[in-house]
Chains A and B, each alone.
Chain A
Amino acid sequence: MKKYKALWFTGREHHAAKMVDIIRFLQNQEFDVLPIVANNVVNFDNYETPLVLNGVVDYKTIYQYLNTQVMSEIRRKTHEMTSNVNHIIEAVGIPVLDYLDEFYFRFSYREMIEVYELYKQAISEEKPDVFFILHEGNFWGKIIAYLCQEMGVYCVSFQEGDYTRVPHCQFSGLSLITKYSDLVCNWGNVHINAIERAGADVSRCRPLGAPHLDKFINSPLLISKEEFCRKFSQDHSNNVVLFLLPLFRIAPKNILDIIDDVVQWFGSNPHLSLILRGHPFDKANEILFNQKYKNMKNIVIDSEMELHEIVQFVDACLLQQTTAGDECLAFGVPLIEVPFTGTSIPGGYYEKGVALEIQNKDELSIIDEVVKDGSPISKKFLQDYLSNVFYSLDGRTCERIHQEVVTLLESKGAGK
């Protein structure tokens, strides 16, 4: 029997992806971790497949804790909430309704009550010492973290992405992202500083590294260049450049022109291969690019290979409003931002001094220089930057997190 019992929330694909490694590490130590997932009826996502694809087979759903009493509480509270909400709407209105489907509004507070009551029941039955969540800045994380505080269970949260680039920085959930957590495992000091600037209490934040990077640091190449070239019919002697595309809904309106300028330049430079990698939320664009660039031999359109599988043989990375640049730098890949607006991307990698910049198609030859000669940016500067972003890239982040969690639990005598 393991010493500590833990619950783990995962409800979306990136929750599973970012946390599965640390969870497995803890399961190999003294933790018995039970994943409990919730549906997301707002997006109608499938909440189980991400776990299954990550090799997690033993899990529960919160609906397995449903019983007559829980359902009765859900109904009672939903009725009360509806009454409160309708009074507000009739008296003063709720301005956000002018911009939000009433479906999402109504269903969200019902779902909030469902998730609260079901996780409450789950925690009551399972009696965990600790609950792991990706972070408090999302719908379920906030509810679970609050419940943990209410029910005397430790809540440990992690980090989803680059907090220095979170849109609506001053106003976003960053100001509340540490509110109920007992321990917040951040990637590095630069992210903790961003949370603090947003107004959050950072006393429970610890810079420990990014746990999902450990396996890429500790493991050999997952996809060799030979395999890549064979799979995509690329010349093995070509240098490979990756273009990380932004989420289109926040990209500049001429993003397709920018992409086309870049692609056409590569078309006339067949000694280079270009991988166009769309944002995970923009899968439809892959079809568009496949059609548009299908006859260009040195252009590869692919979003299936893991970023870390590709960066290990990529010679440079082009960026446009994406936050994945840090992970490229972590694997020694030079960055080049392509704003094409005449001004630098605010808060971007060029402004931070860790990337070059191309402002128009006449400057695209910089790519050739970088792949041949490497980045002109000081290695020491990059190392210092990365240690602030990722604390350490020694492949031992999971060990550090494990130590912090055990220290937390032992401080209050948790566990068997």
Chain B
Amino acid sequence: MNGSPIFLNLFFLWGNNMGIALVIVNTVDEAYIKAVKNMLSNRSVRNDLWVTCSHVVEAELKKKGLEITCVSINRSRWELKKIREFSEPLVKQNPFYDTTLPGTELTCGEVLFHDRYLQLASFPNSLPQNDVIASLAFDLLVAPVDVHDRLAQFAVRLAKQRGVSVIGVQNGFLRTKENLESLLAYDMLYVDSFYDSMFLQQNHGVKSNVIVLKDYVEREKNVTDIAQNLPVLRDKFRLELDIRHDTVVITLLFSIRHIWELRSFLNEIIKNKNQIEENEKNIALLIHFEGDKEKEEWGTLFKKENDIINLYTIGPDVDLLKLLSISDMVFSFRLNTLVELGGQLGISSFVYDPFGFNETCKLCASSNINILENTDVNLNGLVNQYEKI
């Protein structure tokens, strides 16, 4: 599949049985809902049942005219005793508990179960929700491809046990380190982009004939339009932010997940500070905060670096397009929307991923993004090579 906007007729998956489609929705994601509706409208179904585990999502989607039911049941807080009684068999009878870290006698159980999983597992919420889903009869499951969606993941496993077909629809950034190992047990997948399709084929062995691209033509057109308008946007936003036209703006994404990487990067810049200052181009380093936490922690964590080199900061609520339009180069420390869109818009985009710790090479099928796995960073060289002014 190389970008043609095909919506496969799913009739062949069901044969002549026009049964019930169960659709899981746990975010207010209009693109996801649109994709699912388009898919279901291509055949006659007896019924499609939309469910969510969030009352907020239910309320929001009902306002938009969608018939949807919340399967979350408010339970009184479980007593600790009940949690203990319930969770003990999950641990003791669990084959994964005794699985060892390869090459060692250290079991996953002793590392993961007693503290981390016990704290993160949601017994009181999940039990009734899972019971509701398990009580439903359905012939097709449509679920988001989302490793954070517990209900969706449960429904997928249930569907596979029952021999029911499962369609996965992408509703977020798919190419992440944690998704490298996820079990994508879908019979068909609707994805956002060619790159997502390549990720699935290369890392999960998914066959191309079960991958469908959503709204490809429309999205490509949007990106092309934006790219054409970029010089105008650049002038406009630079004026707004009082940035000189000839300043080379290098934007670095700061995320709490990548303190080490950013510090490593900034240390390289500090090592070559003189070279950068002697470069005839006026270079400005702009730190973009991924979220409020980053903004809060920045001063404490990077005081030393701030004292040595001049760092500007922006965000986290800055518009992504605005940020990209004022940037000549963007750096991130993992593959994400910033560098991907930057690359698509023709902005020099880099992922600094020392030793490939964040598995960028495996995630990134895009030739528009440059991956730096060496710890040495010759920023001056990169500016001279890539900067377009």
Contact = CB atoms under 8 A, between A and B. Distances in A.
Residue among A70, A102, A251 with the highest chain B CB neighbour number at 10 A: A102
A48 B115 contact: no
A139 B111 contact: yes
B106 to A, nearest CB: 5
Given A52-B300, A63-B260, A179-B110, A82 B181 contact: yes
Contacts, number: 182
B115 A138 contact: yes
Residue among A97, A143, A176 with the highest chain B CB neighbour number at 10 A: A97
A7 B93 CA distance: 36
A93 B157 contact: yes
A343 to B, nearest CB: 12
Nearest to A105: B117
B355 interface: yes
B150 A101 contact: yes
A249 interface: yes
B83 to A, nearest CB: 7
B148 A101 contact: yes
Interface stretch (A108-116, A183-191, A204-212): A108-116
B175 to A, nearest CB: 14
B59 interface: no
Interface in B124-171: 126-127, 130, 147-150, 153-154, 157
Contact of B94 (A52, A78, A96): A96
A42 B120 contact: yes
Contacts of B181: 78, 82, 85, 106, 110
B223 interface: no
A80 B100 CA distance: 11
Given A94-B95, A137-B114, A137-B115, A103 B301 contact: no
Contacts of B111: 112, 139, 142-143
Given A92-B95, A139-B112, A142-B111, A46 B182 contact: no
A86 B257 CA distance: 27
Contacts of A176: 110, 114
B101 A101 contact: no
A108 B300 contact: no
Contact of A97 (B87, B110, B153): B153
A85 B83 CA distance: 25
B88 interface: yes
A76 to B, nearest CB: 8
B178 interface: yes
Contacts of B102: 76-77, 80-81, 113
A100 B117 contact: yes
Contacts of A104: 116-117, 120
A101 B110 CA distance: 19
Contacts of A68: 355
B148 A112 contact: no
A89 B95 CA distance: 9
B96 A100 contact: no
Contacts of B148: 101, 103
A171 interface: yes
B118 interface: yes
Interface string B168-188: 000000000110011100000
Interface in A105-148: 105-110, 112-113, 116, 137-139, 142-143, 146
Contacts of B31: none
A44 B334 CA distance: 14
Nearest to A66: B355
A253 interface: yes
B354 interface: yes
Interface string A163-194: 00001101111001001000000000000000
Nearest to A248: B77
B293 interface: yes
A368 B7 CA distance: 74
B356 interface: yes
Interface in B345-385: 354-357
A241 B34 CA distance: 57
B65 interface: no
Contact of B357 (A63, A85, A109, A146): A63
Given A98-B126, A139-B116, A171 B91 contact: yes
B13 interface: no
A39 B117 contact: no
Nearest to B161: A93
Contacts of A103: 147-148, 178, 182
Contacts of A256: none
The 8 A-B residue pairs whose C-beta atoms are closest, nearest first, are A173-B114, A103-B147, A63-B260, A99-B126, A168-B84, A99-B121, A82-B181, A77-B102
Interface of B: 76-77, 80, 83-84, 87-91, 93-96, 99, 101-104, 106, 108, 110-118, 120-123, 126-127, 130, 147-150, 153-154, 157, 177-178, 181-183, 256-257, 259-261, 293, 297, 300-301, 354-357
28 contacts: A42-B120, A44-B293, A46-B256, A46-B297, A61-B259, A81-B101, A81-B102, A86-B183, A96-B121, A98-B126, A99-B121, A99-B123, A99-B130, A99-B150, A100-B120, A100-B150, A101-B148, A101-B150, A102-B183, A103-B147, A106-B181, A112-B101, A113-B102, A167-B80, A168-B80, A171-B84, A171-B88, A172-B118
